């Protein structure tokens, strides 16, 4: 008989991680009669022809864990000779913290970091940690392959995984095992035949291959242990009270309790506890290290085998187990709500209550207690102190949400609370400076760098942070990792749905890649941007980066390519701006002659722009380009020709900056002092100070910043100077300046830059301390605007739920006067619409901001009128007075016309005309042309509704004359668009079309013609409506116009004609290149077809939208139209399909929005589950309006608990 004994003579190996001690607790002192199995395991690891997986299967008490733990701790000599590296995880269901995917990720990450000689990653959400683990596996497998060895992963106890293993939300350990192990890696798993493979393991995964299964024969020695353990278990059940309590508590707790925990729970002394657990009942209980503690004092106890745990549960029975569970609950409650002056969850809180107890509750399905833990801020603060991150807390919330969603009628109040608290935890990472992660990369901690970058919640900033880490890795010589990070950043950038945001993020990635030396890849990234002017910006920025790297030839070629793309832009404004960007790139590439020529061409184009604001913007770019090309005098002359004050100031700012960069600091400062606008002068001085600092004159740069009196601009200037000083090596002064910055966001950013400079200079100790400090500052930042936005959303929802007094109270907690006023306006409007007009008016009277109070009263007056209380509405409208309100007449006129329109629509035309006449008199007192034209337009609409068409026509004519006096072309277009719409609605379609044709701005003209076509179609002149729609040349508004005409024709009963127009509108919509505008156009077409009765075609069009978010939104609109048409069966089927589509949306906030829209469409009972899912996926604010409608009491309860310091009743 051969005995394998693990002890001090084991072969030394590289992986000496903390988790190894856990394995030591599992392994038997001696392994008997397993030579053949150990040899077979070694052969699997070494033989080249073997596949990547083997699965050892056996029933209970076969000795699987004993075999694999011995194999891991003392591998056969052939493996050690070849340098094979083993990493492992032993899933243990009877230990609550060792049977989850999170525990698997933590244990393997720690082992792999030790193997690779890396620091542990810090921070990041669970997805980021799992992504980092997969990267670590690849890195370790690569390192082993390059060393001529192999990486082997051992996972025991697949059957004991207590994660979600079935259904669409499956989330198992098996699901994280690599389907294609990288670089020769091998995977050994062990477990029982049942339960089946989890649902999140794809069909193609090797675990589904029956050929990998190897049956393990039962060990007689393991059977002996089973017999002895069960005998000992029965003895404990009849033993002393302490023995019974230890067994009962450890069984109920599912392990994980320490000696001091058990002393506290039983009242026995520690010596007695340890004597029983170590000696008297040594076969029943075993020890493991606590999940955080790594010394002997951190050990915890559990039942020695899963079958012993099951037997203990059986012998104790439900009643006795419930008794011990209650003792554990009471123990936890003492820490959650202590008596006296003790704080909740103090420093000495047992680790079990932070890690194991929630898993015990989840296993028991005790969502009430689990929710109370998962929304406890003090507890999660303690967990942050213990673990260094929020991953465990976020995982706990996710598990609780999943459990709640299993109910057919989920607890929406609990789900809302969990979502709200998750938002609080996630916001801790919102303000991490984008360059801070790169500091950790420079300090030799790349995984911490990546984890911190992934913790940033905004996708654009996350992509930027990852590109900075990529640059740091490239500079450190790890080009493989740098490329992988840049690719990941690019993938994140492509998830941004807004074209400008996506292009901006891709430009940042491309620029960083270029700065890292991979010019070919940088150019490739720019070519993925399809919008011409955005692609020009990307190409020119990359060209500048390449030029700074010294490759002027390549930079010149890119700039030339950018010029070719720029010349394809038809509109003069974007064309001029694009050419100025190319000119700047040409100057950076050294071709000053071509740069000046391009700038001159851009100036010529800019001078042809008739819109003053757009011309000023274009000339600003030209002045900047000329300044960067070196002709500062000409640049200043161009800037001085700009008549728009703020645009001129911006142009002079760029000229001053160029002068400062060229060394003429005195002239640069002189120019900035000529700018009269304080804010813009401060911005100019900031740029000059930065340029002066970059030139090396740090003292003068700081002096310039100290002369800036603007409260927000000075911190920005100090930040720029501190960053520049740090890069120049003046670390001490840079840090001193950074610490004086009062804006916490900017202070964290400046400190991060200083830390980066220190790290690059080799001062790692100070850099590490400063980076840690910057991170701590960033995690404490709160944003009053976001808080006000949240309070406004809650107050509005509470008002819609019916508790108007409570809604007003919540709105009044907003401290910012303007934001408070806006919140109160929304509440007042909701209260008025609910019919409580007196309270609505009273709420508006509490608004101290004069113009916002007037605006609120106007909205309330209109709501009161629409509710039919015309006398009260008129009274409210006439009380809108304030002697110092500059646009009071406009608001008064707007309020009176709104009331007049409501009265006219109710049939009281005489009274409506009288009110409209009063509004007209007020409108004539308005001195601002744009506001007067708008006011007269509104009065004209009211007169038309009141059947006074003669006066309506006269007012429209006067409004048109005034509109044509407006000098700002865009404002003029706005006024004429509104007027054309009003005239069309009044029935004078010919005049409306004439007005629309006078609009020179293409977009407003198309909008006006669309409104005219719509009015004609609704009036029955379908042919003329179609003709006007076809004269619109831009695809997006033309598709919209044809759709509106089709909708009106369908309403008139001609479905054939309507279908033909809708089909044409669909074809036009597919030519729109902007994905969101295309989706918007297709949505309208699909809705029109659904309203026309062609439900099949409507659904087909919706499904042609490729992006899941707009597709789900469009399908929802189609479902609503189908339901309104009476086909509720089809609508319900479609809603189910929409829900499935919504769940595929990668952006969780957009997914939540889509699910909320579906909930709104389908109603209860299905809406409850959809809203619950929305709460679990995205922002907690998204589902609130619908929650207020379907479960108003839950909405009010949520608001009372979260915002009124009402203790939760969990």
Nearest to 112 by CA among 93, 88, 80: 88
Beta 257-258 vs 299-303: how paired, if at all?
antiparallel
| pLDDT exceeds cutoff 70 at 972 | yes
Which range has the worst mean pLDDT, 150-164, 477-491, 882-896, 897-911? 882-896
CB-based burial, 193-206: b 16+ in 10 Å, e otherwise: eeeebbbbbeeebb
What percent helix, strand, coil does the chain show, rounded to 5? Answer: 70, 5, 25
Contacts of 598 (CB under 8 A, 6+ apart): 563, 579, 580, 582, 583, 586, 625
Across the beta sheet with 257-258, the strand order is 257-258, 299-303, 285-289
Between residues 364 and 456, the one the model is more confident about: 364
pLDDT in the model for residue 618 = 83
Structure tokens at 922: 């007020």
pLDDT in the model for residue 330 = 95
Count CB atoms within 10 A of the CB of residue 146. 9
DSSP-derived letter for residue 12 is P
Q: pLDDT per residue over 1075-1120, tens digit each?
A: 777 888 888 888 888 777 777 888 888 888 877 667 777 777 777 7
Helix (H) or strand (E) holding 1193: helix 1192-1203
Cα separation of 27 and 47, whole Å? 26
Secondary structure class of 817 (helix, strand, coil) = helix
DSSP bridge partners of 336: none
| pLDDT exceeds cutoff 60 at 157 | yes
Please name the residue ranges forming H helices in 549-664: 552-566, 572-588, 592-607, 612-628, 632-640, 645-661
Helix (H) or strand (E) holding 56: strand 53-57
- Taking the model in full, what pTM does it have? 0.69
Cis amide bond preceding 1165, omega within 30:
yes
The answer to whether 127 touches 120, Cβ cutoff 8 Å, is no
The length of the chain, given as a count of residues: 1210
DSSP-derived letter for residue 216 is P
Helix (H) or strand (E) holding 285: strand 285-289
Question: Measured in whole angstroms, how far is the alpha carbon of residue 710 from the centre of its chain?
Answer: 32
Dihedral through CA 777, CA 783, CA 784, CA 788, nearest 10? Answer: -150
pLDDT in the model for residue 193 = 78
* Placement of tokens 């339901």 in the chain: 1123
pLDDT in the model for residue 2 = 37
Cα separation of 995 and 170, whole Å? 60
Nearest 5°: phi and psi at 697? Answer: -90, 75
Cα separation of 140 and 137, whole Å? 5
DSSP-derived letter for residue 1 is -
Nearest to 1015 by CA among 1063, 1048, 1059, 1040: 1048
Nearest to 332 by CA among 299, 369, 362, 382: 369
Cα separation of 14 and 593, whole Å? 62
Secondary structure class of 11 (helix, strand, coil) = coil
What mean pLDDT is predicted for residues 392-418? 91
Which range has the worst mean pLDDT, 83-87, 678-682, 931-935, 1202-1206? 1202-1206
The answer to whether 755 touches 782, Cβ cutoff 8 Å, is no
* Placement of tokens 């916001």 in the chain: 427
Task: Give whichever of 55-64, 119-128, 242-251, 706-715 has the largest mean pLDDT.
Answer: 242-251
Cα separation of 703 and 725, whole Å? 14
Cis amide bond preceding 195, omega within 30:
yes
Which range has the worst mean pLDDT, 337-351, 387-401, 425-439, 950-964? 387-401
Nearest to 236 by CA among 222, 257, 217, 250: 250
- What is the percent of the chain where pLDDT is above 90? 13
pLDDT in the model for residue 490 = 83
Q: pLDDT per residue over 299-323, tens digit each?
A: 888 876 677 777 788 888 899 999 9
Helix (H) or strand (E) holding 32: strand 30-32
Cα separation of 1082 and 1078, whole Å? 6
Nearest to 991 by CA among 952, 1029, 1023, 1017: 952
Please, what are the domains in the chain? 3-218 (3.40.50.300), 429-527 (no CATH), 711-782 (no CATH)
Secondary structure class of 190 (helix, strand, coil) = strand
Nearest to 572 by CA among 608, 623, 600: 608
Secondary structure class of 213 (helix, strand, coil) = strand
pLDDT in the model for residue 413 = 95
Task: Give whichever of 190-204, 406-420, 985-999, 1013-1027 has the largest mean pLDDT.
Answer: 406-420
What mean pLDDT is predicted for residues 1131-1143? 72
Could you write out the DSSP letters of every residue in 378-446? HHHHHHHHHHSSSHHHHHHHHHHHHHHHTSSS--HHHHHHHHHHHHHHHHTTTT--TTHHHHHHHTT-H
Nearest to 178 by CA among 168, 166, 170, 186: 186
The answer to whether 1012 touches 996, Cβ cutoff 8 Å, is yes
Q: pLDDT per residue over 5-33, tens digit each?
A: 333 322 223 344 667 877 887 777 778 77
Nearest to 31 by CA among 89, 72, 60, 80: 72
| pLDDT exceeds cutoff 60 at 226 | no
Count CB atoms within 10 A of the CB of residue 931. 21
Phi-psi region of 1089 (alpha: psi -120 to 50; beta: other; left: phi over 0): alpha
pLDDT in the model for residue 126 = 67
Cα separation of 58 and 793, whole Å? 56
Nearest 5°: phi and psi at 190? Answer: -145, 150
Across the beta sheet with 186-191, the strand order is 85-90, 151-156, 186-191, 53-57, 213-215
**Average pLDDT of the chain?**
82
Phi-psi region of 678 (alpha: psi -120 to 50; beta: other; left: phi over 0): alpha
Between residues 619 and 41, the one the model is more confident about: 41
Which range has the worst mean pLDDT, 453-457, 555-559, 921-925, 1036-1040? 453-457
């Amino acid at each position: 008989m051969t005995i394998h004994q693990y002890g001090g003579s084991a072969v030394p190996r590289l992986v000496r991680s903390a988790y190894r001690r856990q394995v030591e607790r599992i392994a038997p002192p001696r392994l008997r009669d397993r030579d053949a199995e150990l040899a077979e395991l070694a052969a699997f690891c070494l033989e080249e022809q073997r596949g990547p997986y083997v699965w050892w299967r056996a029933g209970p008490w076969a000795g699987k864990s004993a075999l694999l733990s011995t194999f891991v701790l003392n591998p056969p000599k052939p493996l050690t000779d070849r340098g094979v590296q083993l990493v492992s995880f032993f899933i243990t269901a009877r230990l609550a913290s060792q049977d989850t995917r999170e525990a698997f990720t933590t244990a393997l990450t720690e082992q792999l970091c030790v193997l690779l000689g890396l620091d542990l990653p810090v921070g990041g959400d669970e997805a980021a940690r799992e992504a980092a683990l997969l990267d670590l596996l690849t890195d370790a497998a690569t390192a082993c392959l390059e060393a001529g060895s192999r990486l082997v992963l051992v996972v025991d106890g697949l059957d004991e995984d207590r994660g979600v293993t079935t259904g669409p939300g499956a989330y198992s350990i098996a699901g994280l095992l690599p389907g294609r192990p990288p670089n020769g890696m091998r995977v050994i798993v062990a477990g029982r035949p049942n339960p089946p493979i989890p649902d999140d393991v794809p069909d193609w995964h090797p675990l589904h291959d029956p050929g990998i299964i190897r049956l393990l024969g039962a060990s007689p020695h393991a059977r002996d242990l089973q017999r002895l353990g069960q005998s000992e278990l029965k003895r404990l059940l009849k033993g002393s009270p302490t023995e019974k309590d230890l067994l009962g508590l450890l069984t109920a707790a599912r392990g994980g309790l320490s000696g001091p925990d058990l002393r506290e729970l039983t009242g026995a002394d520690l010596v007695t506890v340890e004597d029983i657990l170590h000696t008297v009942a040594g076969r029943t209980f075993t020890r493991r290290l606590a999940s955080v503690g790594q010394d002997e004092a951190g050990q915890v106890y559990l039942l020695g085998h899963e079958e012993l745990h099951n037997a203990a549960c059986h012998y104790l029975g439900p009643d006795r187990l419930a008794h011990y569970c209650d003792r554990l609950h009471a123990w936890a409650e003492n820490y959650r709500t202590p008596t006296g002056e003790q704080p909740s969850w103090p420093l000495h809180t047992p680790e079990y209550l932070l890690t194991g107890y929630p898993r015990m509750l989840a296993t028991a399905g005790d969502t009430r207690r689990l929710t109370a833990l998962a929304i406890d801020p003090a507890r999660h603060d303690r967990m942050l102190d213990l673990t260094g991150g929020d991953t465990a807390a976020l995982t706990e919330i996710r598990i609780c949400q999943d459990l709640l969603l299993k109910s057919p009628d989920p607890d929406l109040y609990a789900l809302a609370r969990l979502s709200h608290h998750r938002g609080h935890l996630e916001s801790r990472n919102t303000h991490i400076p984008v360059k801070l992660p790169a500091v950790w990369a420079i300090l030799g901690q790349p995984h911490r760098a990546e984890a911190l970058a992934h913790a940033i919640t905004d996708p654009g900033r996350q992509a930027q942070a990852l590109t900075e880490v990529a640059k740091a890795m490239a500079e450190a010589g790890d080009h493989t990792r740098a490329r992988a990070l840049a690719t990941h950043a690019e993938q994140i950038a492509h998830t941004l749905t807004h074209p400008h945001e996506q292009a901006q993020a891709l430009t940042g990635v491309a620029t960083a890649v270029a700065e890292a030396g991979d010019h070919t890849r940088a150019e490739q990234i720019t070519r993925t941007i399809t919008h011409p002017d955005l692609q020009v910006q990307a190409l020119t920025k990359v060209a500048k980066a390449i030029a700074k790297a010294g490759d002027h030839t390549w930079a010149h070629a890119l700039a030339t390519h950018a010029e070719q793309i720029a010349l394809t832009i038809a509109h003069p404004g974007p064309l001029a701006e694009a050419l100025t960007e190319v000119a700047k790139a040409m100057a950076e590439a050294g071709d000053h002659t071509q740069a000046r020529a391009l700038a001159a061409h851009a100036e010529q184009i800019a001078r042809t722009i008739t819109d003053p604001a757009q011309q000023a913007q274009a000339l600003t770019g030209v002045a900047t380009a000329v300044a960067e090309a070196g002709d500062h005098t000409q640049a200043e002359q161009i800037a001085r020709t700009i008549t728009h004050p703020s645009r001129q100031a911006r142009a002079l700012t760029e000229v001053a900056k160029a002068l400062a960069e060229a060394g003429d600091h005195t002239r640069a400062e002189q120019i900035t002092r000529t700018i009269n606008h304080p804010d813009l002068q401060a911005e100019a001085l900031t740029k000059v100070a930065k340029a002066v600092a970059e030139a090396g004159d740090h003292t003068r740069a700081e002096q310039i910043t100290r002369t800036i009196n603007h409260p927000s601009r000075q911190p920005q200037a100090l930040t720029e100077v501190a960053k520049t000083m740090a890069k120049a090596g003046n670390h001490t002064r840079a840090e001193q300046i950074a610490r004086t910055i009062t804006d916490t966001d900017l202070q964290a950013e400046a400190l991060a830059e200083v830390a980066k400079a220190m790290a690059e200079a080799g001062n790692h100790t100070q850099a590490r301390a400063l980076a840690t400090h910057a991170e701590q500052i960033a995690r404490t930042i709160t944003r009053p605007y976001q808080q006000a936005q949240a309070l406004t959303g809650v107050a509005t929802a509470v008002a819609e739920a019916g508790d108007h007094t409570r809604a007003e109270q919540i709105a009044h907690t907003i401290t910012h006067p303007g934001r408070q006023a806006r919140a109160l306006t929304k509440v007042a409007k909701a209260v008025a619409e609910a019919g409580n007009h007196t309270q609505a008016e009273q709420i508006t009277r509490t608004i101290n901001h004069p113009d916002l109070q007037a605006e609120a009263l106007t909205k309330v007056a209109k709501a009161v009128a629409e509710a039919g209380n015309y006398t009260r509405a008129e009274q409210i409208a006439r009380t809108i007075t304030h002697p110092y309100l500059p646009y009071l007449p406009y608001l008064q006129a707007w309020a009176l016309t709104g009331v007049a329109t409501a009265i006219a629509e109710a049939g009281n035309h005489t009274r409506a005309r009288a009110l409209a006449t009063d509004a007209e008199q007020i409108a004539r007192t308005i001195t601002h042309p744009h506001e007067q034209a708008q006011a007269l337009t509104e009065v004209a609409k009211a007169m038309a509704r009141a059947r006074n068409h003669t006066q309506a026509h006269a007012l429209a004519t006067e409004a048109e004359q005034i509109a044509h006096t407006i000098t700002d072309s865009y404002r003029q277009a706005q006024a004429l668009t509104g007027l054309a719409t009003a005239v069309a609605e009044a029935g004078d379609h010919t005049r409306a079309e004439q007005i629309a044709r006078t609009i020179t701005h293409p977009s407003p003209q198309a909008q006006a013609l669309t409104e005219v076509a719509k009015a004609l179609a609704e009036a029955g002149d379908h042919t003329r409506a179609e003709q006007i729609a076809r004269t619109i040349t831009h695809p997006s508004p033309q598709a919209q116009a044809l759709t509106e005409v089709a909708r009106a024709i369908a309403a008139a009963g001609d479905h054939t004609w309507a279908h033909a127009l809708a089909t044409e509108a669909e074809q036009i919509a597919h030519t729109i290149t902007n994905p969101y505008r295309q989706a918007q156009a297709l949505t309208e077409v699909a809705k029109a077809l659904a309203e026309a009765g062609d439900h099949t075609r409507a659904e087909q069009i919706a499904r042609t939208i490729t992006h899941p978010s707009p597709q789900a939104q469009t399908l929802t609109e189609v479902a609503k139209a189908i339901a309104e048409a009476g086909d509720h069966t089809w609508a319900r089927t479609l809603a189910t399909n929409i829900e499935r589509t919504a769940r595929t949306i990668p952006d969780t906030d957009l997914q939540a929005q889509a699910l909320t829209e579906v909930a709104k469409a389908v109603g209860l009972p299905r809406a409850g589950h959809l809203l619950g899912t929305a709460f679990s996926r995205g922002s907690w604010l998204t589902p609130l309006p619908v929650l207020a409608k379907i479960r108003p009491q839950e909405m009010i309860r949520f608001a009372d608990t979260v915002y009124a310091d009402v203790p939760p009743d969990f």
